[in-house]
Amino acid sequence: MLAKRIIPCLDIKDGRTVKGVNFVDLRDAGDPVELAGIYSREGADELVFLDISATEQKRKTLADLVYRVAEKVNIPFTVGGGISSVEDVDVLLHNGADKVSINSSAVKNPQLINDLVAKFGSQCIVVAIDAKQIDGEWIVHLVGGKVPTERKLFEWAKEVEERGAGEILFTSMDNDGTKDGFANEALARLSSELNIPIIASGGAGNKQHFSDTFTEGKADAALAASVFHFKEIGIQELKLELQGNGIPVRV
């Protein structure tokens, strides 16, 4: 069995790391370059950087940040936020990103997934999906979770796979920042219906939640932010506990 991955997520706004609850009420969590170096040394398997307020004008700023982070880490990292073209991805990969994450732009223009995969390969392309339950149905949202769409989670995820994406980063908006655990029922369904890796996001509050999402949710990786940023859980102690629970991780 492939090792399960632990991935700290750095949500970037105006060059700083921030963290909120249910996608709002953001608070400062530190310098992203400094945090990236710490997580790399502590044994994180990957890093994810999401520029949550990205605009075209900030593309240069994000590229500079990617370059500074790449100099500090020796683990793969994924960059997302405001990416809407082959040119955007080219800039980020040339500045040291290993993968890119697209979200709103993929929903608005699904052909973008095909275009990016054709140019850079599936292994570089992560599609992030933010969804929340409305009347019992998981509905995809855009623009940092602010705009509901007509898309349903499982149908969209299947299309994303068919278009060639290498993995899916699924964030449950209902669970985000609550520290009540991941949306394991939805994650297990995604894992059973798809053949590409699923990254669980939204809801990590303690070490048991990670164990649960790997066993009950069948996730391939678990992403979290505040529990790592504010030193509530150490990455090495988390991995040792997971290993003790029989879950394969790189220690």
Beta strand 16-21 with 5-13 is: antiparallel
Q: Burial-class residue 103 by CB neighbours within 10 Å (0-12, 13-18, 19+).
A: buried
Which residue in 45, 51, 88, 130 is the catalytic one? 130
Tokens of 187: 């994650």
Using alpha carbons only, what angle is made at residue 51 by residues 46 and 52, rounded to the nearest 5 degrees? Answer: 120
| Annotation marks residue 25 as catalytic | no
| Annotation marks residue 11 as catalytic | yes
Q: Kindly report the length of the chain.
A: 251
Other Cβ atoms within 10 Å of 250 Cβ, number: 11
Q: Burial-class residue 134 by CB neighbours within 10 Å (0-12, 13-18, 19+).
A: exposed
Residue in 242, 249, 239 with CA at minimum distance from that of residue 42: 239
Sign of the four-CA dihedral 251, 209, 230, 144: positive
Sign of the four-CA dihedral 129, 151, 25, 239: negative
Question: Could you list the active site residues?
Answer: 11, 130
